[in-house]
Structure 1
Amino acid sequence: MNTQTHTREGGCTCGHVRYQVVSEPMIVHGCHCRGCQKNSGSAFAVNALFEADRVTVVSGTVEEIAVPTPSGTGQDITRCTKCKVAVWSNYNMGGLRKHIRFIRVGTLDDPDQFPPDVHIYTSSKQPWVILPSADRRVSEFYEFAETWSPASLERLSKIEATAGIKIS
Protein backbone atom coordinates (compact mmCIF):
# COMPACT_ATOMS: atom_id res chain seq x y z
CA MET A 1 0.00 0.00 0.00
CA ASN A 2 1.21 3.49 -0.85
CA THR A 3 2.13 5.47 2.29
CA GLN A 4 2.05 8.97 0.82
CA THR A 5 -1.19 10.80 1.62
CA HIS A 6 -2.83 13.23 -0.73
CA THR A 7 -6.14 13.96 -2.38
CA ARG A 8 -7.21 11.60 -5.14
CA GLU A 9 -10.09 12.06 -7.51
CA GLY A 10 -12.38 9.80 -9.43
CA GLY A 11 -15.71 9.71 -11.14
CA CYS A 12 -18.19 7.91 -13.32
CA THR A 13 -17.98 7.12 -17.01
CA CYS A 14 -20.02 10.09 -18.26
CA GLY A 15 -18.20 12.63 -16.05
CA HIS A 16 -21.33 13.82 -14.23
CA VAL A 17 -20.09 12.53 -10.85
CA ARG A 18 -16.69 13.56 -9.54
CA TYR A 19 -15.49 12.65 -6.06
CA GLN A 20 -12.41 13.17 -3.91
CA VAL A 21 -10.75 10.91 -1.38
CA VAL A 22 -8.43 12.39 1.23
CA SER A 23 -6.24 9.60 2.65
CA GLU A 24 -4.74 6.29 1.79
CA PRO A 25 -7.09 3.31 1.79
CA MET A 26 -7.25 1.20 4.93
CA ILE A 27 -6.98 -1.88 2.71
CA VAL A 28 -7.68 -2.87 -0.90
CA HIS A 29 -9.70 -6.02 -1.62
CA GLY A 30 -9.79 -8.07 -4.77
CA CYS A 31 -13.16 -9.73 -4.12
CA HIS A 32 -13.99 -12.90 -6.02
CA CYS A 33 -17.39 -13.62 -4.43
CA ARG A 34 -20.32 -14.44 -6.69
CA GLY A 35 -22.07 -11.22 -5.61
CA CYS A 36 -19.19 -9.05 -6.83
CA GLN A 37 -19.04 -11.08 -10.02
CA LYS A 38 -22.72 -10.42 -10.68
CA ASN A 39 -22.68 -6.76 -9.59
CA SER A 40 -19.59 -5.93 -11.64
CA GLY A 41 -20.39 -8.14 -14.60
CA SER A 42 -16.80 -9.35 -14.37
CA ALA A 43 -14.66 -11.98 -12.63
CA PHE A 44 -14.05 -9.89 -9.50
CA ALA A 45 -14.24 -6.40 -8.03
CA VAL A 46 -11.37 -4.30 -6.66
CA ASN A 47 -12.43 -2.08 -3.77
CA ALA A 48 -10.36 0.36 -1.70
CA LEU A 49 -11.80 0.90 1.78
CA PHE A 50 -11.92 4.46 3.14
CA GLU A 51 -13.64 6.14 6.05
CA ALA A 52 -16.91 7.61 4.72
CA ASP A 53 -16.04 11.10 5.96
CA ARG A 54 -12.91 11.08 3.77
CA VAL A 55 -14.95 10.65 0.57
CA THR A 56 -16.68 13.73 -0.85
CA VAL A 57 -18.85 14.16 -3.94
CA VAL A 58 -17.39 17.23 -5.67
CA SER A 59 -19.92 17.47 -8.49
CA GLY A 60 -22.93 15.65 -9.85
CA THR A 61 -25.57 13.64 -8.11
CA VAL A 62 -25.53 10.06 -6.89
CA GLU A 63 -28.18 7.58 -5.87
CA GLU A 64 -27.98 4.63 -3.50
CA ILE A 65 -29.47 1.35 -4.62
CA ALA A 66 -29.93 -1.46 -2.08
CA VAL A 67 -28.77 -4.80 -3.46
CA PRO A 68 -29.09 -8.19 -1.75
CA THR A 69 -25.99 -10.12 -0.66
CA PRO A 70 -25.53 -13.81 0.21
CA SER A 71 -25.21 -12.86 3.91
CA GLY A 72 -28.68 -11.33 3.85
CA THR A 73 -27.46 -7.94 5.12
CA GLY A 74 -27.31 -6.38 1.64
CA GLN A 75 -25.18 -3.58 0.35
CA ASP A 76 -25.86 -0.06 -0.83
CA ILE A 77 -24.32 0.68 -4.23
CA THR A 78 -23.82 4.38 -4.95
CA ARG A 79 -24.23 5.16 -8.63
CA CYS A 80 -24.20 8.18 -10.93
CA THR A 81 -27.79 9.30 -11.54
CA LYS A 82 -27.06 9.69 -15.26
CA CYS A 83 -24.84 6.83 -16.48
CA LYS A 84 -25.57 4.52 -13.49
CA VAL A 85 -21.91 3.56 -13.03
CA ALA A 86 -21.18 2.31 -9.50
CA VAL A 87 -18.59 4.54 -7.80
CA TRP A 88 -18.67 2.94 -4.35
CA SER A 89 -20.55 0.55 -2.11
CA ASN A 90 -21.35 0.35 1.56
CA TYR A 91 -21.48 -3.17 3.01
CA ASN A 92 -22.88 -4.05 6.42
CA MET A 93 -19.40 -5.03 7.66
CA GLY A 94 -20.57 -5.92 11.16
CA GLY A 95 -22.77 -2.82 11.42
CA LEU A 96 -20.33 -0.25 10.00
CA ARG A 97 -22.30 0.20 6.74
CA LYS A 98 -22.50 4.02 6.75
CA HIS A 99 -18.97 4.49 8.09
CA ILE A 100 -16.83 2.81 5.40
CA ARG A 101 -16.93 3.35 1.64
CA PHE A 102 -15.71 0.60 -0.68
CA ILE A 103 -14.47 2.78 -3.55
CA ARG A 104 -14.51 0.97 -6.89
CA VAL A 105 -10.82 1.31 -7.76
CA GLY A 106 -11.57 1.45 -11.49
CA THR A 107 -13.44 4.75 -10.98
CA LEU A 108 -10.33 6.50 -9.65
CA ASP A 109 -8.50 8.73 -12.14
CA ASP A 110 -5.33 6.73 -11.41
CA PRO A 111 -6.49 3.22 -10.51
CA ASP A 112 -3.04 1.70 -11.06
CA GLN A 113 -1.86 2.85 -7.63
CA PHE A 114 -4.15 0.48 -5.71
CA PRO A 115 -3.58 -3.19 -6.51
CA PRO A 116 -5.25 -5.59 -4.05
CA ASP A 117 -3.60 -6.05 -0.67
CA VAL A 118 -5.59 -9.27 -0.32
CA HIS A 119 -7.81 -11.41 -2.53
CA ILE A 120 -10.95 -12.52 -0.71
CA TYR A 121 -13.54 -15.23 -1.45
CA THR A 122 -11.09 -17.05 -3.66
CA SER A 123 -13.13 -20.22 -3.12
CA SER A 124 -15.52 -18.82 -5.75
CA LYS A 125 -12.80 -17.30 -7.96
CA GLN A 126 -13.17 -18.00 -11.64
CA PRO A 127 -10.78 -20.86 -12.45
CA TRP A 128 -9.24 -18.98 -15.36
CA VAL A 129 -8.21 -16.05 -13.13
CA ILE A 130 -4.59 -16.70 -12.17
CA LEU A 131 -3.43 -14.77 -9.12
CA PRO A 132 0.25 -13.87 -8.74
CA SER A 133 1.90 -16.38 -6.41
CA ALA A 134 3.08 -13.62 -4.04
CA ASP A 135 -0.42 -12.14 -3.59
CA ARG A 136 -2.11 -12.63 -0.22
CA ARG A 137 -5.36 -14.59 -0.53
CA VAL A 138 -8.03 -16.18 1.64
CA SER A 139 -10.70 -18.71 0.78
CA GLU A 140 -13.51 -16.61 2.29
CA PHE A 141 -12.91 -13.58 4.54
CA TYR A 142 -9.91 -12.83 6.75
CA GLU A 143 -9.08 -12.03 10.35
CA PHE A 144 -8.59 -8.26 10.62
CA ALA A 145 -5.61 -8.47 13.01
CA GLU A 146 -3.78 -10.84 10.66
CA THR A 147 -4.43 -8.86 7.48
CA TRP A 148 -4.73 -5.11 8.13
CA SER A 149 -1.69 -2.96 8.89
CA PRO A 150 -1.36 -1.57 12.42
CA ALA A 151 -2.15 1.96 11.14
CA SER A 152 -5.28 0.72 9.37
CA LEU A 153 -6.38 -1.23 12.45
CA GLU A 154 -6.05 2.00 14.45
CA ARG A 155 -8.27 3.80 11.92
CA LEU A 156 -10.78 0.94 12.09
CA SER A 157 -10.77 1.17 15.89
CA LYS A 158 -11.75 4.85 15.66
CA ILE A 159 -14.63 3.99 13.33
CA GLU A 160 -15.76 1.24 15.70
CA ALA A 161 -15.67 3.68 18.63
CA THR A 162 -17.74 6.24 16.73
CA ALA A 163 -20.28 3.59 15.75
CA GLY A 164 -20.28 1.90 19.15
CA ILE A 165 -19.55 -1.45 17.44
CA LYS A 166 -16.57 -3.81 17.71
CA ILE A 167 -15.90 -6.00 14.63
CA SER A 168 -12.12 -6.47 14.67
Structure 2
Amino acid sequence: MTVPVLPWTAGCRCGAVRLRITKPAMLTVACHCTGCQKMTGSAFSTSIMVPSDGVVVTGDTVRGGLREGMLHHEHCDACKSWVFTRFDPDPGFVNVRATMLDDATWYAPFAETFTSEALPWAKTGARWSFERFPAADEHPAVFAAFAAEAS
Protein backbone atom coordinates (compact mmCIF):
# COMPACT_ATOMS: atom_id res chain seq x y z
CA MET A 1 0.00 0.00 0.00
CA THR A 2 1.44 3.38 -1.01
CA VAL A 3 -0.12 6.03 1.19
CA PRO A 4 0.26 9.63 -0.04
CA VAL A 5 2.12 12.26 1.94
CA LEU A 6 0.07 14.26 4.43
CA PRO A 7 -1.90 16.45 4.57
CA TRP A 8 -4.80 14.87 2.72
CA THR A 9 -7.83 16.83 1.62
CA ALA A 10 -11.38 15.63 1.33
CA GLY A 11 -14.87 16.99 0.85
CA CYS A 12 -18.49 16.26 0.18
CA ARG A 13 -20.01 16.00 -3.28
CA CYS A 14 -20.91 19.68 -3.54
CA GLY A 15 -17.77 21.02 -1.84
CA ALA A 16 -19.54 22.85 1.00
CA VAL A 17 -17.81 20.66 3.61
CA ARG A 18 -14.04 20.29 3.42
CA LEU A 19 -11.66 18.21 5.52
CA ARG A 20 -7.94 18.54 6.06
CA ILE A 21 -6.34 15.40 7.45
CA THR A 22 -3.00 16.03 9.13
CA LYS A 23 -2.27 12.72 10.89
CA PRO A 24 -1.78 9.30 9.32
CA ALA A 25 -4.51 6.69 9.15
CA MET A 26 -4.74 4.27 12.04
CA LEU A 27 -6.62 1.75 9.90
CA THR A 28 -8.65 1.45 6.69
CA VAL A 29 -11.92 -0.46 6.97
CA ALA A 30 -14.95 -1.61 4.99
CA CYS A 31 -18.11 -2.22 7.02
CA HIS A 32 -20.70 -4.64 5.64
CA CYS A 33 -23.42 -4.02 8.26
CA THR A 34 -26.92 -3.45 6.92
CA GLY A 35 -26.91 0.06 8.43
CA CYS A 36 -23.90 1.04 6.34
CA GLN A 37 -25.44 -0.64 3.30
CA LYS A 38 -28.57 1.48 3.69
CA MET A 39 -26.64 4.72 4.37
CA THR A 40 -24.35 4.28 1.36
CA GLY A 41 -26.84 2.68 -1.01
CA SER A 42 -24.09 0.14 -1.65
CA ALA A 43 -22.71 -3.15 -0.36
CA PHE A 44 -20.52 -1.58 2.36
CA SER A 45 -19.11 1.69 3.64
CA THR A 46 -15.44 2.64 3.40
CA SER A 47 -13.64 4.32 6.28
CA ILE A 48 -10.27 5.68 7.21
CA MET A 49 -9.73 5.79 10.96
CA VAL A 50 -7.84 9.03 11.67
CA PRO A 51 -6.79 10.40 15.07
CA SER A 52 -9.49 12.82 16.28
CA ASP A 53 -7.05 15.71 16.49
CA GLY A 54 -5.86 15.04 12.94
CA VAL A 55 -9.08 16.11 11.18
CA VAL A 56 -10.04 19.72 10.60
CA VAL A 57 -13.57 20.26 9.26
CA THR A 58 -14.84 23.41 7.57
CA GLY A 59 -18.45 23.90 6.51
CA ASP A 60 -21.75 22.95 8.07
CA THR A 61 -22.59 19.35 8.88
CA VAL A 62 -25.78 17.80 10.19
CA ARG A 63 -26.22 14.54 12.03
CA GLY A 64 -27.88 11.76 10.06
CA GLY A 65 -28.26 8.01 10.10
CA LEU A 66 -28.48 7.01 13.73
CA ARG A 67 -29.45 10.16 15.60
CA GLU A 68 -29.01 8.74 19.06
CA GLY A 69 -26.38 6.70 20.78
CA MET A 70 -22.63 6.73 20.46
CA LEU A 71 -22.36 7.08 16.67
CA HIS A 72 -22.66 10.54 15.14
CA HIS A 73 -22.79 10.27 11.35
CA GLU A 74 -22.03 13.74 9.97
CA HIS A 75 -23.45 14.78 6.60
CA CYS A 76 -23.04 17.90 4.47
CA ASP A 77 -25.99 20.16 5.23
CA ALA A 78 -26.25 21.11 1.54
CA CYS A 79 -25.82 17.87 -0.45
CA LYS A 80 -26.36 15.38 2.41
CA SER A 81 -23.22 13.36 1.60
CA TRP A 82 -22.14 11.18 4.54
CA VAL A 83 -18.69 12.67 5.20
CA PHE A 84 -17.45 11.27 8.53
CA THR A 85 -18.48 9.64 11.80
CA ARG A 86 -17.59 10.75 15.32
CA PHE A 87 -18.15 8.72 18.47
CA ASP A 88 -19.33 9.65 21.96
CA PRO A 89 -17.30 9.24 24.03
CA ASP A 90 -14.39 10.01 21.69
CA PRO A 91 -12.22 6.86 21.37
CA GLY A 92 -9.42 8.96 19.89
CA PHE A 93 -10.36 8.62 16.22
CA VAL A 94 -12.81 9.81 13.56
CA ASN A 95 -13.98 7.60 10.69
CA VAL A 96 -13.66 9.59 7.47
CA ARG A 97 -15.49 8.13 4.49
CA ALA A 98 -12.68 7.10 2.13
CA THR A 99 -14.66 8.14 -0.93
CA MET A 100 -14.63 11.75 0.31
CA LEU A 101 -10.84 11.97 -0.22
CA ASP A 102 -9.86 14.20 -3.12
CA ASP A 103 -7.51 11.36 -4.11
CA ALA A 104 -8.86 8.02 -2.94
CA THR A 105 -6.91 5.95 -5.47
CA TRP A 106 -4.59 4.59 -2.77
CA TYR A 107 -7.40 3.46 -0.46
CA ALA A 108 -7.93 -0.25 0.12
CA PRO A 109 -9.67 -1.74 3.15
CA PHE A 110 -7.15 -3.47 5.42
CA ALA A 111 -9.93 -4.87 7.61
CA GLU A 112 -13.60 -5.55 7.09
CA THR A 113 -16.33 -5.74 9.71
CA PHE A 114 -19.78 -7.26 9.93
CA THR A 115 -19.06 -9.91 7.33
CA SER A 116 -21.99 -11.76 8.93
CA GLU A 117 -24.26 -9.22 7.17
CA ALA A 118 -22.29 -8.97 3.92
CA LEU A 119 -24.00 -9.47 0.60
CA PRO A 120 -22.71 -12.80 -0.77
CA TRP A 121 -21.03 -11.21 -3.79
CA ALA A 122 -19.39 -8.29 -1.90
CA LYS A 123 -15.68 -9.06 -1.60
CA THR A 124 -13.10 -6.47 -0.55
CA GLY A 125 -9.83 -8.37 -0.40
CA ALA A 126 -9.25 -7.09 3.15
CA ARG A 127 -6.51 -8.92 5.06
CA TRP A 128 -8.48 -9.05 8.32
CA SER A 129 -12.16 -10.00 8.51
CA PHE A 130 -14.54 -9.94 11.45
CA GLU A 131 -18.10 -11.27 11.67
CA ARG A 132 -19.01 -8.22 13.81
CA PHE A 133 -16.73 -5.49 15.18
CA PRO A 134 -13.42 -6.82 16.47
CA ALA A 135 -13.17 -7.33 20.22
CA ALA A 136 -11.13 -4.76 22.14
CA ASP A 137 -8.35 -7.28 22.73
CA GLU A 138 -8.01 -7.76 18.94
CA HIS A 139 -7.48 -4.04 18.21
CA PRO A 140 -3.73 -3.83 19.01
CA ALA A 141 -2.83 -6.63 16.56
CA VAL A 142 -4.91 -5.14 13.73
CA PHE A 143 -3.55 -1.62 14.28
CA ALA A 144 0.04 -2.92 14.50
CA ALA A 145 -0.33 -4.95 11.29
CA PHE A 146 -1.76 -1.95 9.44
CA ALA A 147 0.98 0.38 10.75
CA ALA A 148 3.66 -2.08 9.63
CA GLU A 149 2.23 -2.29 6.12
CA ALA A 150 1.43 1.43 5.76
CA SER A 151 4.93 2.56 6.75
Aligned-partner Cα distance in 1 for 2:146–2:123:
30
Query: For residue 113 of structure 2, what is the aligned residue in structure 1?
Result: 120
Q: Which one of 113, 131, 135 corresponds to residue 127 of structure 2?
A: 135
Kept in 2, the 8 Å contact 1:5–1:23? The answer is no
Kept in 2, the 8 Å contact 1:120–1:140? The answer is yes
Query: For residue 84 of structure 2, what is the aligned residue in structure 1?
Result: 88
Kept in 2, the 8 Å contact 1:2–1:24? The answer is no
RMSD between aligned alpha carbons? Answer: 2.4
CA deviation after TM superposition for structure 1 residue 82, in Å: 0.7
CA deviation after TM superposition for structure 1 residue 39, in Å: 1.6
Q: Which amino acid aligns with 2:101?
A: L
CA deviation after TM superposition for structure 1 residue 138, in Å: 1.6
Kept in 2, the 8 Å contact 1:78–1:88? The answer is yes
Structure 1 residues without counterparts, runs of 5 or longer: 153-168
TM-score of the superposed pair, with normalisation by structure 1? 0.75
Task: After TM superposition, list the pairs within 5 Å mapping 1:2-151 onto structure 2.
Answer: 2=2, 5-58=5-58, 60-65=59-64, 67=66, 73-92=69-88, 95-96=89-90, 99-132=92-125, 135-142=127-134, 143-149=138-144
Q: Percent identity?
A: 27
Kept in 2, the 8 Å contact 1:80–1:86? The answer is yes
CA deviation after TM superposition for structure 1 residue 2, in Å: 4.5
Q: Say which SS state the counterpart of residue 126 (structure 1) adopts.
A: coil
Larger radius of gyration between Structure 1 and Structure 2: 1
Aligned-partner Cα distance in 1 for 2:146–2:63:
30
